[in-house]
Structure 1
Amino acid sequence: MFGFTDCFIRKKEGIDLENAEIRNFLDTMQEQVASFRGSL
């Protein structure tokens, strides 16, 4: 039981980390698009 819970928590942390990376990536893309539009 403990092992299963531990694995589940680790998996959730991994998903949270992935989501954070995706969010950072999207933020970076938005900044690049904004600066690109600003330079037009």
Structure 2
Amino acid sequence: MGKTAATLTALENLYLAGSETKPTLVLAPLLVGPIHLAG
């Protein structure tokens, strides 16, 4: 599993658990770009 997939899976698990709220959705695309480029 790539770093991007792992990050998205972790975020998804947090959403499903109710631990995260909408502001994290705004940050997610910003995190995916650099991780994807670095991977």
TM-score range, shorter chain: 0.3 to 0.5
Higher alpha-carbon Rg:
1
TM-score normalised by structure 2 residue count: 0.43
Greater helix content: 1
TM-score calculated relative to the size of structure 1: 0.42
Relative contact order, CA 8 A, sep 6+: which one is greater?
2
